[in-house]
Structure 1
């Protein structure tokens, strides 16, 4: 990389892309993936070395010197009081006092709620049970001969309409064990600070959570955060609408949802929870992905998106793909309350191994 005044190079953390360089007695620097790419007499070489994993090499053409990795990073790390800035602008969810989660709904049965969100035996037995038992996504075959959602005769969740165009892989493969220092599920909720504020004047705080999937207790902490932290105020917005309106009423419901979200931001709320907990015989839930995307893009168009964080409280998501889609369309954290209720019911009925703790 270069800007005309400085030229440099950096190596990946695993050192899988070799970079070797030499410095000659007439101040030439030659770098390539292999040594000996250009013929240089051995007596002219002052230094011969390689770029190490995760390290940088910078040549300052104006000062006529090579800046080492240690000097470069030390200069940047000590330029501002970053630790103080973080302490003033971050709040950790785990540090907040516990809040009692909401009681399970008694007015609408678990089965009725599962049917409202399209749950199936495949979801509970083949997908959710292995995740609860092993702590990871169930392994299955890569092939599928079912019709794509757009051409299927069966009603499908909105998430199934989103597929990758190709089998994307990382090279090198993602390794969360050996690269623990640079891999994290930590997420941040709330208004975004000004990226052009280089002196730390921003008063906007962000809420730090260990991972984007929230337990019911975590969500209640966020819902009541305004009572414990004066820089946060949370607004819960219902994303269900009257069943009497039918399918034709969804567009109007989405428009009203966007208006309520805009009004909430204008009213000073900086965390919005989009909730479909009110689903029932008289209330239809807007698909969580559609509601999230609608609010996200509406606030972008109004220039308000960076002033608020979006949290989704939905009974719909239960697969990793569902959470990825929601995150891709603006959700900063997700509470899959019905998935938790379902797993708790399965645990009570003995359908999960005894060693799996109740939620």
Structure 2
């Protein structure tokens, strides 16, 4: 430590927790025994206010990137409103469901959206009880937030008493998506439903955390009681701050960035035509597109989590699928848990990137870290059963004598409070329970084909030995120049060294260059602006793998043994021997039927010939898939 620094700075740099300033502030407060109280909400608001420094605000000093809380429905508060407004009586508070609405500022558009939401809920079997204008104090907002503030209302409805809890949540999800689609078809883009549930409600907005309970007057009401409260203070990095993109979303609050976002979005769009579930039947198409346009990476992750949970998977199970830990190279991981992760990797690609996620379905509150552990996450358990998880130490004032356990989440780890079981679930407990739901290990060992384990040679005998003019011709054909050979390939292949070049690169982008380019130079890595992803499978082998599976993928909403019937290579780059074996794989299983497509075109035809060839290749590939080919 530099002794020349002033004492306050020496203390700052000597305290690791003070250095944890990784973007958004997020976490949850929950009562282990499921007891609803106003205290839990107050502690969550205290925590999010203590994360204010993690957020950002505009030049007016008040319009923040966003802050909010996700809680259980405050039944006592809303039942009081129903009594005072002399609305239709509700027999059981448990039958109350709430749609929180951000309506357009224009009266006509607001009326259409309000009526559409009510009508879709009525068609789903719900009984409207009241439309409640959420009490707010707009003077607490900054100028920009006040100018863009939507009309904020709650639609209170009663569910049919015979409707099971999970089916109720499914019906509310479906009704919300139908209403959102209707608004978009009408050309209304500023209609948003922060939550629509019989379990949870979301209060959020374009503000900094200290304004939260001053703007939403409900949050200061002692009759607002909950056993779970997820909180979030946003620091916007990849999208512009708006009321809609403030967090929490309907299930989660997220600190971090999804590096793999474009691939995740493309995969979800590609699998939509194949989605099917007995829980949805024909209603499933009403949910498309699953990932809604205009959302942030966190919002899109929430879209997929919402689908999985409402399609029958448990909350913790779904999050394990979406944000798995690094399981392939972990020597001390239980084999059943490893097989569970490997199975789910066949139907869902990871949403990967630095992430600390707090999430809840109103019954369970949980938190997880990404496989690299690149965001801080601390937890405390109090003697009275209060569990606090957050981005920093000291978010809530609790005497040290009342703390019975504390710690921090490690890479890929998860912690949860199950209010129904009244249990604190550790990472090992969560993953063992989920891994034992199905015989994943047997499914993987029975169906997955690993060429390196069944004797497929890494190199083919009688390989072509090019030399002299033929070698130079081939190198020119594939775009290799003398610099590639001298500066990159020779040090790597002959001297086992890393290629070393200049600090800068003044060559033009491949698409703008007048010189021939290698195919891979037309592609650039897309990564988050805050934290780069691991890209080295040698030095970062614990968290980065080149293993590549090929074959037809099973439906995301199913859980069947046949999903593990894939071919898994150790690298996406196949040797001549591996490629030859793959061409014969159809003889092993008709699921691996393949079609070979000619990817060349006459050079004399120039760019026009290339465009024609690309179109032909796409058409032949589509025809092959329609004919049942998977490779």
Q: When the two structures are superposed, what TM-score results if normalisation uses the length of structure 2?
A: 0.38
CA 1:185–1:135: 2 relative to 1, 3 Å: farther
2:384 to 26, 34, 51: 26
Q: Aligned pairs, how many? A: 268
Question: Which runs of 5 or more structure 1 residues have no equivalent in the other structure?
Answer: 272-359
Deviation at 1:144, TM superposition (A): 1.9
CA 1:161–1:264: 2 relative to 1, 3 Å: closer
C-alpha contact (below 8 Å) 2:372/2:543 kept by paired residues: no
1:130 to 461, 468, 491: 491
The answer on 1:239 being equivalent to 2:599 is: yes
Q: Which residue of 1 aligns with 2:517?
A: 156
Q: Which residue of 2 aligns with 1:121?
A: 482
C-alpha contact (below 8 Å) 2:365/2:416 kept by paired residues: yes
For the residue of structure 1 that corresponds to 2:596, the secondary structure is strand
The answer on 1:218 being equivalent to 2:575 is: no
Between the aligned partners of 1:236 and 1:39, the Cα distance in structure 2 is 66
Q: Which residue of 2 aligns with 1:196?
A: 557
Deviation at 1:80, TM superposition (A): 0.7
Higher mean C-alpha displacement, 73-82 vs 234-243: 234-243
For the residue of structure 2 that corresponds to 1:59, the secondary structure is strand
Q: Which residue of 2 aligns with 1:312?
A: none
Higher mean C-alpha displacement, 227-236 vs 71-80: 227-236
For the residue of structure 2 that corresponds to 1:22, the secondary structure is strand
Q: Which residue of 2 aligns with 1:64?
A: 422
Deviation at 1:237, TM superposition (A): 1.6
Between the aligned partners of 2:375 and 2:607, the Cα distance in structure 1 is 54
2:441 to 83, 90, 97: 83
Between the aligned partners of 1:253 and 1:126, the Cα distance in structure 2 is 34
Provide, for residues 88-134 of structure 1, a one-character-per-residue CA deviation record: whole Å limited to 9, x for no partner: 4311112155595675388x933322222222111222222222235
CA 1:232–1:60: 2 relative to 1, 3 Å: same
C-alpha contact (below 8 Å) 1:102/1:216 kept by paired residues: no
For the residue of structure 2 that corresponds to 1:235, the secondary structure is coil
Q: Which residue of 2 aligns with 1:51?
A: 408
Report the structure number with the largest CA radius of gyration.
2
C-alpha contact (below 8 Å) 1:101/1:220 kept by paired residues: no
The answer on 1:269 being equivalent to 2:626 is: no
Deviation at 1:208, TM superposition (A): 0.7
Between the aligned partners of 2:546 and 2:583, the Cα distance in structure 1 is 21
CA 1:71–1:162: 2 relative to 1, 3 Å: closer
Deviation at 1:34, TM superposition (A): 4.8
Q: When the two structures are superposed, what TM-score results if normalisation uses the length of structure 1?
A: 0.62
CA 1:134–1:3: 2 relative to 1, 3 Å: farther
CA 1:266–1:170: 2 relative to 1, 3 Å: same
C-alpha contact (below 8 Å) 1:11/1:51 kept by paired residues: no
C-alpha contact (below 8 Å) 1:10/1:51 kept by paired residues: no
Q: Which residue of 2 aligns with 1:186?
A: 547
CA 1:64–1:175: 2 relative to 1, 3 Å: farther
For the residue of structure 1 that corresponds to 2:623, the secondary structure is helix
Provide, for residues 272-308 of structure 1, a one-character-per-residue CA deviation record: whole Å limited to 9, x for no partner: xxxxxxxxxxxxxxxxxxxxxxxxxxxxxxxxxxxxx
Question: Which runs of 5 or more structure 2 residues have no equivalent in the other structure?
Answer: 1-357
Between the aligned partners of 1:68 and 1:265, the Cα distance in structure 2 is 44
Deviation at 1:81, TM superposition (A): 0.5
Deviation at 1:220, TM superposition (A): 1.2
Provide, for residues 177-201 of structure 1, a one-character-per-residue CA deviation record: whole Å limited to 9, x for no partner: 7864543221111222222212435
Q: Which residue of 1 aligns with 2:620?
A: 260
